[in-house]
Each structure stands twice: as structure tokens, then as C-alpha cells.
Amino acid sequence: MFDFFKGFGVTFSTMFKKVVTEEYPEDFPPAAPRYHGRHQLNRHPDGLEKCVGCELCAWACPADAIYVEGGDNTPEERYSPGERYGAIYQINYLRCIGCGLCIEACPTRSLTMTNFYELADDNRQDLIYTKEQLMAPLLPGMEQPPHPMRLGEDEQDYYVQGPTLARSSSVADQTGEQVR
């Protein structure tokens, strides 16, 4: 007999509390700083793409949501500092589980995840993001690829913060010292 009153007790205790309403479309709540949302392909400071088309992110994806096809850079058309670049890059967000294994697999730190979480759509084709949709925007001082390398003579200058640091680390490797 008392179970009946216990059940209604929960109802009566919440009946007079203030209702919390989120005005979602108008008041966009921020995500947590480390939230894994939409992916982004990053650029170097001169505008060249960091993606070298190695396809490691696609191999690491347990849901098989990433498709990468590498292309070769030429002296006339250079998209990344390496020998190759990601000619075709697609992420299928119908399959993506947001695990972040693709981020860990990327050797050039090209692929990162943003805090953007609104990925719902009523069209399945719109949830397959292409390279153009995933690329980071051009910031002031960046130039739209293809263009020659501006930060150094070879790809080591892009990934090791300049030739002086690269030389000092190779000398330290030979002598067995540790470089900070």
C-alpha cells in the first residue's frame, strides 16, 4: 500500500521545481574543450597541406569511414611539402564513431578533431565530407596551393622547425646526446 505513495512521491517532489529549458538553436551551448567533433585537415603556415596522402588514418579507422587516395606532387604543382599529398580525402560521418584513432595514426599531425558537433542532416550524401569541406581555412599570410615551398628548401624544414634544429638533432643523435 505504501509503494503507491512512494511512486507518487517522486512525481510530487519534481512537480514544483523550476523547469530548465535550453534554447538550443538560438543559444548554442559550447562543447567541452577536448570534445571529439568534426575532423579538420590542417595547413602549414604558408598554406601548404600537412596531409601527405599516406593513408594511415584510413587503415587505423575501425569503422572504415575514411577514404584517402594519394597523389604525387610535381615541381609545377605542389600541394604539400612531401613527395605526395592527399588528392582525394573523404570521411563518411554515417560510419564515423568519433574514436580518434585516425588522429593518433597521423604522422604529420594533419588530421585533428574540432569541437563542432552539429553533424545531423536529412540527406545521406551530405554526411560524406570531402577534402574541400575538411580543409582548414586560409589564414592571413597563407597562399592557396598549389605553390612552391616557402618555409624552406626541403620537407625537413617544415617538420623539424628549420634546418638549424634538424642539424643539431642529427649531430645529437650521432653523439648520443638528448636535445630539448
39 is in an annotated binding site: no
56 is in an annotated binding site: no
- DSSP state, residue 80: S
51 is in an annotated binding site: yes
96 is in an annotated binding site: yes
78 is in an annotated binding site: no
102 is in an annotated binding site: yes
71 is in an annotated binding site: no
Task: Report phi then psi at 140, rounded to 5.
Answer: -60, 135
The partner residues of 71 in beta bridges, in order of sequence, read 85
Bond before 163 cis per omega within 30 degrees = no
54 is in an annotated binding site: yes
Rounded CA-CA distance 147/58 in Å is 27
Widest pairwise Cα distance in the chain: 85
What residue numbers does the annotated binding site cover?
51, 54, 57, 61, 96, 99, 102, 106
What residue numbers does the annotated binding site for [4Fe-4S] cluster cover?
51, 54, 57, 61, 96, 99, 102, 106
